[in-house]
Amino acid sequence: MVQNDGILSTPRKDGTNILNRRLFIYLLIAIVAFIGFYLWESHSLAQPPEPPQRFTWVEGLDDLYPREHGPYLSRPIATSQSEDIPRPDPSFAVDFIHYPTSEEITTFLYQLESSYPELVEVMVAGYSWQERPIVGIRIGNEATGDPDSRPAMYVDGQHHAREAISSQAVLYFLWYLLSRYSDDALVTHLLDTRTVYAIPCVNPDGNDIFLHADQRQRKTANPTASDDDGDALFDEDGRENAGFGTYEVYLYTFDSQWVADHPDNPFAEGWQSHLISRRFAGLFDREGQEIPQVDNDGDGRSGEDPPGGVDANRNYDSHWELGDPNPSSDIYRGPETFSERETRTVRDFVLARPNLITALSFHSGSDILLHPWAWSTEAELPDRFWYELLSRKGSQLTEANGFRGAPHAWTARGLYFASGSTIDWLYEQGLLAWAPETYAASSLSFVKRITTTNTYTVGLSVGEGFNPAPEAILLTADRWLDWSLYLLAATPNVGLSKAEIGYDSLLLSIANDGLLPLDIAVSVQTEQGTYATVITSLSAAERLYALPFQTGSLPQTVTVTLTAASPIATATGRVQAQAVKLEIQGQNVRIVEGQLEPFMPLGNAFGGWFAGYEWDSPEYHRGPDLLHELFLPAVQGRR
């Protein structure tokens, strides 16, 4: 019995051990399989498609990564070619095939000054929070008069760090004007009679942070403006090496039936309700290598308290108090108006130049041409006629290089509300100002299914959402060139275009070759006395003024003084004065001082000053009706 019991008991003991060993082996296999799957899955993350798909036309993915305004995306441009678009010599620091650093932008501006000394003056307008120079430039022909006394346009770009294409649009416009001077009749006339002032990169700190450290950067680098993680320390835990050209990679897992129905495109309409899980997998470079991040403040997180700052385009003294007071907000208005070195630089630069009449402040993140008001949908817009008229032409002129024409809108009605904006402040200073949103794509860079699982690796790039790929910089910048030229041509310019002897009078032709109107006070001084008249609302035309005289009493000298004011409702004032002294010898008129400015029909260069009604359809005119149908028909006959 004892032996039998022992025999009987031994199998029970061995069976338990075998069972335990089997459970242990199964568990070990499961652990190894899990680790293997995890390592295999992680390895798959490091191999995005080659080459990564840089432009993915996918509607309705704003919740993956919001752009400035999702619905208005730029049309894909993959079929467009840039070989025929002019570009600078390779020796220039900006070549429009890569996004330059702030130092390269500064170098480029000084290269322009060196190459075109008679047309260019470069100046340091201010300094950023990180002591980078904020560089301004003036372009105009000094040989035809003082550029600072001529009618002028102001242009800037890159208030927002991640909108690098906006500075490229400005730089391309400047380079084009200079490179075409003397070879292009339109450009030559514009630089002989007008001046362009520009700050191509308002936010140089942000530009370099975007390129090298964190492509999500939007605000200034003000070191005391924002404590994003609320630990009473500022800017202590930003991202490392996550600039333009890197990807945020996530794992998206969907239910089986959804994947079976949409194996190649899990983001078809309605995808949100089929999403099971979403997990951040890391930051990766373009070669698929993971970019490690450092927890600088030791709180178990990384990248939650990036540099700065303040939204520079919410910091101007135009209904600033209505802005977002939350320092962690992407649209934080700042602690007070003009709290930022960058916006103070723009303010001082603009206010020091009373000859400014028009302005462009380039942005990206949407594809739309914006004008005031940004702060209100209901405030009176006194110059809405001209805003609507010129914006409609902007929609037409930007249908180029594979892009559709950019829609146009009163900002608060057609895009969003924004107080403290640059264009509202500029308009309140008496400049007709626009904000072209130059480019917007999907932030979705690639989607790759992990073999036959229900999980996809998803690559997101906010930089690619706001900016075209480097090879498309030139196409995008050139797309906005004609609109910039058009607005410069529309900028009013007074001139004495003709002086000759008539049957019984001295015939003077007073001209404004720009589209925007001028009120012109004309004073003619002779030996017999002074004659005066006023010409109102002169727009893209010449007006004949006859100074009568009796036979035999022809004056020997005549001084014609023209004083012009642009009737912009927010700040009408003198914008230009010109004096021409004439000497009359028999039937001949000789210029003694000053010069004639022959009238040039500038609208012809753009197919006419006005765009047709098709450019005011709902596809191109965004937001509620501006009552434009009541006042635009009156000008249609002038096309």
pLDDT tens-digit series, residues 498-554: 999 887 888 999 999 999 999 999 999 988 788 999 999 999 999 999 888 765 677
**Would you state the pLDDT for residue 129?**
95
pLDDT tens-digit series, residues 319-376: 999 999 988 888 999 999 999 999 999 999 999 999 999 999 999 999 999 999 999 9
pLDDT mean over 480-497: 97
555 confidence band (pLDDT: 50, 70, 90): confident
Looking up tokens 């704003």 gives 62
**Per-range mean pLDDT, top range of 53-57, 121-125, 236-240, 281-285:** 121-125
C-beta neighbour count of 212 within 10 angstroms: 15
Separation CA 307–CA 287 (nearest Å)? 27
pLDDT mean over 259-281: 89
Q: In the chain, which segments carry CATH 2.60.40.10? A: 494-596
User: 314 pLDDT exceeds 50?
Assistant: yes
User: 619 pLDDT exceeds 80?
Assistant: yes
**303 in Cβ contact with 249 (< 8 Å):** no
User: 417 pLDDT exceeds 70?
Assistant: yes
* SS3 state of residue 480: coil
pLDDT mean over 171-191: 98
Q: In the chain, which segments carry CATH 3.40.630.10? A: 102-221+307-443+466-490
| Domain boundaries 102-221+307-443+466-490, corresponding CATH code | 3.40.630.10
629 confidence band (pLDDT: 50, 70, 90): very low
Least confident of 66-80, 231-245, 247-261, 465-479: 66-80
**Would you state the pLDDT for residue 305?**
64
In what helix (H) or strand (E) does residue 520 lie, and over which residues does it extend?
A: strand 518-526
User: 446 pLDDT exceeds 60?
Assistant: yes
pLDDT mean over 415-430: 95
**419 in Cβ contact with 411 (< 8 Å):** no
**Would you state the pLDDT for residue 303?**
63
What CATH superfamily classification does 494-596 receive? Immunoglobulins (2.60.40.10)
**Would you state the pLDDT for residue 383?**
94
User: 48 pLDDT exceeds 50?
Assistant: no
Separation CA 180–CA 532 (nearest Å)? 39
Separation CA 499–CA 472 (nearest Å)? 49
**Per-range mean pLDDT, top range of 226-240, 440-454, 466-480, 519-533:** 466-480
User: 627 pLDDT exceeds 60?
Assistant: no
- Could you tell me which residue, 570 or 42, shows the higher pLDDT? 570
pLDDT mean over 380-404: 94
423 confidence band (pLDDT: 50, 70, 90): very high
User: 8 pLDDT exceeds 80?
Assistant: no
User: 308 pLDDT exceeds 50?
Assistant: yes
Residue at 561: amino acid letter: T
431 confidence band (pLDDT: 50, 70, 90): very high
Residue at 265: amino acid letter: N
pLDDT mean over 21-49: 51
Summary mean pLDDT of the chain: 85
Percent with pLDDT over 90 in the chain? 59
44 confidence band (pLDDT: 50, 70, 90): very low
Residue 511 phi, psi dihedral angles, 5° rounding: -130, 150
- pTM attached to this predicted model: 0.87
Separation CA 561–CA 582 (nearest Å)? 11
**Would you state the pLDDT for residue 632?**
39
**Would you state the pLDDT for residue 583?**
87
* Helix and strand numbers, DSSP H then E, in the chain: 14, 20
pLDDT mean over 88-101: 95
**Would you state the pLDDT for residue 13?**
45
Instruction: Name the burial class of residue 326, with classes exposed (0-12), middle (13-18) and buried (19+) by CB atoms within 10 angstroms of its CB.
Output: exposed
User: 573 pLDDT exceeds 70?
Assistant: no
Separation CA 343–CA 449 (nearest Å)? 46
576 confidence band (pLDDT: 50, 70, 90): confident
Query: Do strands 529-538 and 432-439 pair parallel, antiparallel, or not at all (unpaired)?
Result: unpaired
Closest by CA to 44, choosing from 459, 444, 442, is 459
**209 in Cβ contact with 307 (< 8 Å):** yes
pLDDT mean over 593-612: 94
pLDDT mean over 250-264: 92
**Inter-helix orientation angle 164-180/481-490, to 10°:** 60
**Would you state the pLDDT for residue 288?**
84
**Would you state the pLDDT for residue 551?**
58
